[in-house]
């Protein structure tokens, strides 16, 4: 048995998750991406203990991640990862990450490139560790959220959280 498979075999099957949507226009009622993330996490057997829609403002985003970190082992933000002047999720969170996982953003953009072409380079998708919690920052479109969750986050979430707990 490989070390990777051994880690996966001992990984938690259910992870306590938080979802944060950064948007100046969406509300809980119109947050299709947040609803999709919740659906995909629950379908995979994870728990969603925190959910918030916040304005595209650095302090609001950082405060929501801080609050989610009190009860969640993994936090998924959506929105605010692009080139727009109001896209501040990366600016708000990157400086407070204890570690970054460059592979997440690299793989996300590679997978995205296959679907949308060169526009994928404009995504600032990143992942990192904040207060010992895993944080994924993905674009706000439902298609981008589905891609990130189905291809990257859900398949490795328990494994990643399990490795962090060692």
Give 118's pLDDT tier (boundaries 50, 70, 90): very high
Give 11's pLDDT tier (boundaries 50, 70, 90): confident
Enumerate domains of the chain plus CATH numbers: 12-164 (3.40.980.10)
Q: What is the mean pLDDT of the chain?
A: 94
Q: How far is CA 158 from CA 119, 130, 144, in A?
A: 30, 17, 21
Residues of the chain with pLDDT > 70, as a percent, come to 93
């Amino acid at each position: 048995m490989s070390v990777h498979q051994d880690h996966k075999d001992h990984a938690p099957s259910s992870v306590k998750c938080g979802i944060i949507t950064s948007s100046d226009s969406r509300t809980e009622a119109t947050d299709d991406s947040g609803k999709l993330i919740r659906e995909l996490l629950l379908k995979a057997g994870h728990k969603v203990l925190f959910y918030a829609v916040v304005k595209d403002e650095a302090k609001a985003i950082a405060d929501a991640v801080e609050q989610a970190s009190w009860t969640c082992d993994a936090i998924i933000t959506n929105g605010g990862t692009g080139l727009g002047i109001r896209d501040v999720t990366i600016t708000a969170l990157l400086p407070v990450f204890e570690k970054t996982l460059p592979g997440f953003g690299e793989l996300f953009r590679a997978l995205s490139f296959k679907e949308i072409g060169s526009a994928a380079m404009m995504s600032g998708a990143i992942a990192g560790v904040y207060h010992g919690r895993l944080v994924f920052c993905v674009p706000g479109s439902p298609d981008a959220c589905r891609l990130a969750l189905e291809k990257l986050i859900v398949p490795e979430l328990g494994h990643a959280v399990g490795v962090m707990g060692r």
